[in-house]
Chain A
């Protein structure tokens, strides 16, 4: 089981990476004004629109690998799930996919 834990980046490390991707997508100036946390929701707290979320998911894919079917995962959600989707959800999803 050791290899699994080694290969599985800790949630905190994934969070830092995701925060960096978000900053790249929405711009440093806007990211600085926001308190980006694991509990931040994409649409409500970070005010990301669908184009920004797609740009973000491209970065996630480029880093973690094409097997992360981000858009496929999102397309299975209903409106309330999309409204409440936060960074923690993505971190868990990435961990599951690995």
Chain B
């Protein structure tokens, strides 16, 4: 049996799929530890899993971490090029620098067989490279968000290369090359067809959505089963706290007098009053709810996107920032949904879009086609198989043990 160390960022959308495959690895007898900079609610962890925060090494960085997390709330009000700077310069790179000492120390103590770094959590791959430990990467969003910058935007490409080079130098890697991701195995939680990869490199393994992480959130199923109108699930994910009031105010304006039932995954306290056709709750058992829905409205957070198309539902995507625009363009291309940019969201347009999704079969048909590609990708079972094969090949000694 092997020891897997998942290195994760303080963003639940990136942690979530690793919890699912981690749960599967634990069930198969492996030891799994997650290492991050912010503790995670025990309820999210699969039984037997350990979440490690190197507190001593992070002690002097607490204020900066708080500032970085708070800064994410500015995302929705920033332009796309500003968000690129926010993500790389102000978030991923500083987090990687802060993580390195505690991570390296923990790796020396725990001696993992494999490091699995999330795609924006560079420290995992960098520490693994320094210590000669095999490393795989997990990518929860369609890759290639920035497109071909080398060919289309050489100055942006150079900026990115320099950031990575400087980061690598600062953590003691002098060799030329890019070591923030695994070149051996990169597990991507969507399908190649949906992400627009006709002929992916062999290390890019598209396994589709993964399931299996615990979600014990209660829900008022009785109230849901009493609803007779089409059911629309609405989520803004776990980030983007500041804009909830504005977003849901507009949602109410659009749907309070419509014959639909809105299931909104948000803390009810963001607004004083909700219409009768709205069921509102903070954390919801999203995967269990989806099969009961008729359509989904979300900003493009990838776990909700995956849950939606795993259930063959059409989506109204309202991209706000980050990679949402890229995801929106993939959805439009696949024909499984409609896009209204958050900045240009009008109640009448939202209403029209949702009724089109409900009434025109082509959206549901296209969503079902995406579902097929997701199912064929293999999901959690495939991800676990890839990781087990990877550890076998990377550490042959284990085969004799």
Q: Which residues of A contact B (CB under 8 A)?
A: 26-27, 29-30, 43-44, 47, 49-51, 75-83
Is A43 in contact with B346, judged by CB distance below 8 angstroms? no
A23 to chain B, nearest CB (A): 13
Q: Would you call B159 an interface residue if the criterion is a C-beta within 8 Å of the partner chain's C-beta atoms?
A: yes
20 additional A-B residue pairs with CB within 8 Å, beyond A44-B82, A83-B79: A27-B344, A29-B346, A30-B343, A43-B82, A47-B79, A49-B80, A49-B319, A49-B325, A50-B80, A50-B325, A51-B325, A51-B329, A75-B153, A76-B155, A77-B155, A79-B84, A79-B85, A79-B159, A81-B155, A83-B82
Q: CB-CB < 8 A to B152: which residues of A?
A: 75
Q: What 0/1 readout, one digit per residue, does chain B (316-349) give for beta carbons within 8 Å of chain A?
A: 0001000001000100000000000101101000
A51 to B328, CA, bound (A): 11
Say which size band chain B's interface belongs to: 10 to 19
Cβ–Cβ < 8 Å partners of B85 in chain A: 79
> What chain A residues lie within 8 Å of B200 (beta carbons)?
none
Q: Does B81 contact A (CB under 8 A)?
A: yes
Query: For residue B160, which residue of chain A has the nearest CB?
Result: A79
Most chain A beta carbons < 10 A, residue from B81, B82, B341: B81
Query: When chains A and B are docked, how far (Å) is the Cα of A30 from the Cα of B346?
Result: 10
B154 touches A82 (CB 8 A): no
Q: How far is the CB of A94 from chain B (nearest CB, A)?
A: 22
Evaluate contact between A43 and B325: CB separation under 8 angstroms. Answer: no
The answer to whether B344 and A30 touch across the interface, beta carbons within 8 angstroms, is yes
Least distance between A63 CB and chain B CB atoms (Å):
23
With the chains together, A75 CA to B151 CA distance in Å?
9
Which of A29, A30, A44, A78 contacts B79, CB < 8 Å?
A44
- Asked if residues B329 and A78 are in contact (CB atoms below 8 Å), the reply is no
Interface assignment of B27: CB less than 8 Å from any CB of chain A: no
Q: Which residues of the partner chain B approach A26 to less than 8 Å between Cβ atoms?
A: 344
Q: List 14 A-B residue pairs with CB atoms under 8 Å apart, sorted by A's residue number.
A: A27-B344, A43-B81, A50-B325, A51-B325, A75-B152, A76-B154, A77-B153, A78-B156, A79-B81, A79-B84, A81-B155, A82-B81, A83-B79, A83-B82
Residues of B contacting A79 with CB < 8 Å?
Answer: 81-82, 84-85, 155-156, 159
A78–B344 touching, CB < 8 Å: no
Q: In B72-102, which residues have CB < 8 Å from any A CB?
A: 79-82, 84-85
Bound Cα distance A43, B83 (Å): 11
Distance A53 CA – B329 CA, assembled complex (angstroms): 15
- Please give the distance in Å from A68's CB to the nearest CB on chain B: 18
- B395 nearest CB across to chain A (Å): 41
Q: Which residues of A contact B80 (CB under 8 A)?
A: 43, 49-50
Choice from A29, A47, A76, A83 contacting B81 with Cβ under 8 Å: A83
**In the assembly, what is the distance between CA of A27 and CA of B155, in Å?**
32
Interface contact B79-A43, CB-CB below 8 Å? yes
**Which of A43, A78, A83 contacts B155, CB < 8 Å?**
A78
Q: A76 to B156, alpha carbons, bound, how many Å?
A: 9
A27 to B82, CA, bound (A): 23
The distance from the CB of B322 to the nearest CB of chain A, in whole angstroms, is 12
Task: Kindly state the separation between the CA atoms of A79 and B79 in the bound complex, as whole angstroms.
Answer: 11
The closest CB in chain B to the CB of A81 belongs to: B155
Residues of chain B within 8 A of A49, CB atoms compared: 80, 319, 325, 341, 343
CA gap between A26 and B341 in the complex, in Å: 10
Smallest CB separation, B181 vs chain A (Å): 21
Which chain B positions have C-beta within 8 A of A76? 154-155
Question: Could you say which residues of chain B place their CB within 8 Å of the CB of A75?
Answer: 152-154
Q: Give A79 to B344 CA distance when docked, in angstroms.
A: 24
Assembled-state Cα–Cα distance A83/B344 (Å): 20
Contact flags (1/0) for B338-373 with A, using CB distance below 8 Å?
000101101000000000000000000000000000
> Shortest beta-carbon distance, B302 to chain A, in Å?
19
Inter-chain contacts of B155 with A (CB < 8 A): 76-79, 81
Kindly report which residue of chain A lies nearest to residue B155, judged by CB atoms. A78
| Nearest CB in chain B: distance from A92 CB, A | 19
Q: Are B82 and A78 in contact (CB under 8 A)?
A: no
